[in-house]
Chains A and B, each alone.
Chain A
Amino acid sequence: MRDDILFELQGEKAKAYLAKGKRIDGRSLMEYRPISIIPNFSKNADGSCRVKVGETDVIAGIKMEIGAPYPDSPNEGSISVGAEFTPMASPIFETGPPDEYSIELARVVDRCIRESKTLDFKQLLIEEATKAWIVNIDVYVVNDGGNLFDASSLAALGALIVAKIPKIEGDKIVKNEYSGKLELSCMPLLTTFFKIGNTIFADATISEEKAADARISVGSTENRQICAMQKGLAGKFTQQEIERCFEMTFEKADELRSTLKDALAAES
């Protein structure tokens, strides 16, 4: 792809800059691109949020469905995260069933929310062993400008925060009526760091991603807990590097959380 060759060339340039501790777009190593957040993007969703990080553009939406609890946890509901790389997001994405990239993205976003225990799955129970809420979170990547993990995690959390629980009568959901909001005990977010040579930096663009040797996503909460991790690509990290990423994670995720809070406050 014509597009790809361009990004690879830019990637070479990015590599040369990063070796000197600089970035091609003039940002500092741990600086995020400008972020814009639109909560409640879709009225038909029970909760939704559109997030732009630089050129990256993702839309997350929630639909609550009534399902049966898993046999091994009869008094709990659950969540289900899906991710779709829409083919308009990049010239190399194609239509078709989810590929390994979108499945990885969905699973890491899922892990960050699930393992932080921000959602009490017991709260999602409607009737023991037979009925519980399944919180379906679907993330659509509309424009891939790099760092999809952080943008998707931010959009998913934004959608969860504004999500409402539909009202039920008997076995059925009453349209357009809600019985309350989802209760969240914390705000888990992913922050992803990339490594080129010996330089580690946050919020990679496409060209930086193309040139990256390794990637690590760390999910964390405002209580300085780590709730999910995923190392990616063929490169490697030392223990010291990983521990340095943790410190950066807490700092950067706090920044993202306050950006999200501001957007939510502006909305209401």
Chain B
Amino acid sequence: MEKSVYERPDGRKIDELRKIKIVPSVLTRADGSAYIEWGQNKAIVGVFGPREALPQHIQNPTKALVNYVYRMATFSVPERKSAKPGRREIEISKVSGEALESAIFVERFANATIDIYAYLFDSNAGTRCAALTAASVALADAGIPMRDLVPACAVGRANGQLIVDPCKEEEDAEDAVDMPMAILPRNKEVVLLQMDGLLSLEEWKKAFHLGLNGCMQVYEIQKKAIKEKYESIEKEDKKAIEALNEEMECLESEGQNSAEGDYVEG
């Protein structure tokens, strides 16, 4: 069978993701942020809010707006992109924002907006999934209440083989199928799903299963990134407390000495 001979250009197994690194809290002026490296993809996401939605007429008295802005830097793609946002970026922004909205407790923040800005500085297929994955970590970093994180991952087909997380070369295959998806892992509910290409129902089921699996792997990486951040804060806190205790001890012993001195003087 063809399946067994298909080799991925970067040598990955069919259900293997590219290397993913997520770092939360990379920006100081945003309320929450995250940096992600996903293969060659590099994105920074900043979150603001919940803050007052302006102008006033866009406010919704029943829930917060989720304003997701996905942008690619002019130099992030092989051929220079115009600095103006294109139709592709606007569409991706819309569906990604909707995906995150289903995770956020928007009903708690009437008349507010939650702004999420995701910028790509380098790319090689799967940028919307990388950006969305980082965005939900940035939302968690901002302390915005959510039902769950939103891991995203694409599945595709190249040369007859279903694969997880296709790279650019695989995306350009003759029979290519690309299906980016994002889920709420707790209930395995789908919050983002797009597809282009031709698939039979049988193949779709297999592809979906593969995608679900990919999303769960991404979910673990997201959780680890957030945990590591708090562990490092905990370590710093411990150090700070120890330093403070030492200082107090020094002061106390000095205090005893000077207290004696005072006593003599008095």
With known contacts A57-B27, A88-B30, A91-B29, A142–B75 Cβ distance under 8 A: no
Interface size on B, residues (CB 8 A): 31
Please tell me if A82 contacts chain B, counting CB pairs below 8 Å.
yes
Q: Given the complex of chains A and B, what is the CA–CA distance between A84 and B121 in angstroms?
A: 13
With known contacts A42-B122, A44-B122, A45-B76, A84–B83 Cβ distance under 8 A: yes
With known contacts A45-B76, A48-B75, A87–B122 Cβ distance under 8 A: no
Q: Given the complex of chains A and B, what is the CA–CA distance between A65 and B74 in angstroms?
A: 12
The answer to whether A46 touches B75, judged by C-beta atoms less than 8 angstroms apart, is: yes
The 8 residue pairs across chains A and B that have the minimum distance between CB atoms: A88-B46, A61-B75, A45-B75, A63-B80, A42-B122, A88-B117, A138-B74, A55-B28
B residues with CB within 8 A of A: 27-30, 33, 40, 42, 44-48, 51, 69, 71, 73-78, 80, 83-84, 115, 117, 119, 121-124
The answer to whether B121 touches A143, judged by C-beta atoms less than 8 angstroms apart, is: no
User: Which B residues touch A48, using CB under 8 A?
Assistant: 75, 121
CB distance from B160 to the nearest CB of A (A): 26
Q: Given the complex of chains A and B, what is the CA–CA distance between A10 and B119 in angstroms?
A: 30
Total A-B residue pairs with C-beta atoms closer than 8 Å? 98
The answer to whether B46 touches A61, judged by C-beta atoms less than 8 angstroms apart, is: no
The answer to whether A43 touches B29, judged by C-beta atoms less than 8 angstroms apart, is: no
Q: Given the complex of chains A and B, what is the CA–CA distance between A3 and B75 in angstroms?
A: 31
Q: Given the complex of chains A and B, what is the CA–CA distance between A61 and B51 in angstroms?
A: 32
- Contacts A/B (CB < 8 Å), 26 sampled: A42-B42, A42-B73, A44-B78, A44-B122, A45-B75, A45-B76, A57-B27, A61-B73, A61-B74, A61-B121, A62-B75, A63-B74, A63-B80, A82-B74, A86-B117, A87-B48, A88-B27, A88-B45, A88-B46, A88-B48, A90-B29, A91-B30, A95-B117, A138-B74, A138-B75, A145-B28
The answer to whether A88 touches B75, judged by C-beta atoms less than 8 angstroms apart, is: no
The answer to whether B122 touches A41, judged by C-beta atoms less than 8 angstroms apart, is: yes
Which one of B30, B76, B84, B117 has the greatest number of beta carbons of chain A within 10 Å? B76
User: Which B residues touch A250, using CB under 8 A?
Assistant: none
Which one of B29, B71, B115, B121 has the greatest number of beta carbons of chain A within 10 Å? B29
Q: Given the complex of chains A and B, what is the CA–CA distance between A225 and B30 in angstroms?
A: 39
